[in-house]
Structure 1
Amino acid sequence: MSYDRRSVLAAALAVPAATTLLTATPAAAAPGTVDAQPWTDLLLEPGVTAQANAKPQIRLITIAGTTFLQARGAITCDLTADTRIATMPGVLKPTSVTRAVAPRNNSQGINSCRLEISTTGAVTVYGGNTGNPVTWVQLDSVQTIWR
């Protein structure tokens, strides 16, 4: 029986690394380093509706001094141009334009769209056109640095 020297060497090197991973104790997170705000509903524009059991919501979460915007939920729409879909609630206005990518209906090989939040709090979806309308957008993957 013949053995490839590379596979034997890789196996020999993997044993100590695996042993270290199995016996290492994970570092504990410092208490108080995560601050998650409650989920807040987005204010949807006319013609944009929340999908069943998937109300579009956002929240801010701060981890080790960096604040992120998280979104969840999904909308149904018929966007044939770059369109404002919602407004951020209350005082949640970014200090600069914030962008993220969100899944959308797969049409002509395009399955994502750009989601942008302006400094006025307008939430806009980019990428729809008459030949390739955006009919739904899923927001669960939207996470971006807020400030």
Structure 2
Amino acid sequence: MSQNRRSILGAALALPAAVAAGSLLAATPAAAAGGVVADAWTDLVLEPGITAQAGATPQIRLITIADTTFLQARGAVTCSLNADTKIATLPAGLKPTWYVRAAAPRNNSQGINACRFEVNTAGSVTIYGANTGNPITWVQFDSVQAIWR
């Protein structure tokens, strides 16, 4: 009897997925998620030369889902970055115990349309990826979500 690899792989992957889906469907939402706790949105403290886009104030919050805490960001800034640059500071009292990193959309320049959003242990928010030949003129934070440590 001949079996092709695709059908064997499909069968191997289907069983664990079916078992996991059955467990999640049988669980109550609170038990499945471990509860969801979302803090209020808080404004980032922007550095000089970094401007919030109209109607898109840069903000962050912590959200806990299934006992895992994430940093979420939203909003957008206009800037003129020619090097890796600190653009903001987290509000007082929010300091990660390790670096928090995520990719964020930026102006498309030379085919590059993402940059690195990083928060260090002092609470400084830095944007990485700009240089004189490829400046960053805006960064949007709505896609930023990273595990908070």
After superposition, residues 21-36 of structure 1 pair within 5 angstroms as: 27-30=27-30, 33-36=35-38
Partner SS for 2:115: strand
The residue that corresponds to 1:22 in the other structure is none
After superposition, residues 1-147 of structure 1 pair within 5 angstroms as: 27-30=27-30, 33-147=35-149
Report the count of equivalent residues.
124
Q: CA deviation at 1:27?
A: 4.9
CA distance in 1, matches of 2:121, 2:30: 33
CA distance in 1, matches of 2:26, 2:51: 43
Percent identical across equivalent pairs? 71
Q: Which structure 2 residue ranges, 5 or more long, are not aligned?
A: 1-24
Pairwise CA RMSD: 1.6
CA distance in 2, matches of 1:142, 1:26: 31
Partner SS for 1:90: coil
* Cα deviation digits, residues 94-116 of structure 1 (max 9, x gap): 00011110000000000000011
CA distance in 2, matches of 1:112, 1:26: 39
Q: Give the TM-score of the pair, scaled to structure 2.
A: 0.79
CA distance in 1, matches of 2:77, 2:83: 16
CA distance in 2, matches of 1:39, 1:134: 25
CA distance in 2, matches of 1:97, 1:64: 21
The residue that corresponds to 1:6 in the other structure is none
What amino acid does structure 2 have at the position aligned with 1:110?
I
What amino acid does structure 2 have at the position aligned with 1:29?
P
Q: CA deviation at 1:28?
A: 3.5
When residues 26 and 134 of structure 1 are mapped into structure 2, their CA distance, relative to the original with a 3 A threshold, is: farther
Structure (1 or 2) with the greater helix fraction: 2
Moved more, 65-74 or 26-35: 26-35
What amino acid does structure 2 have at the position aligned with 1:28?
T
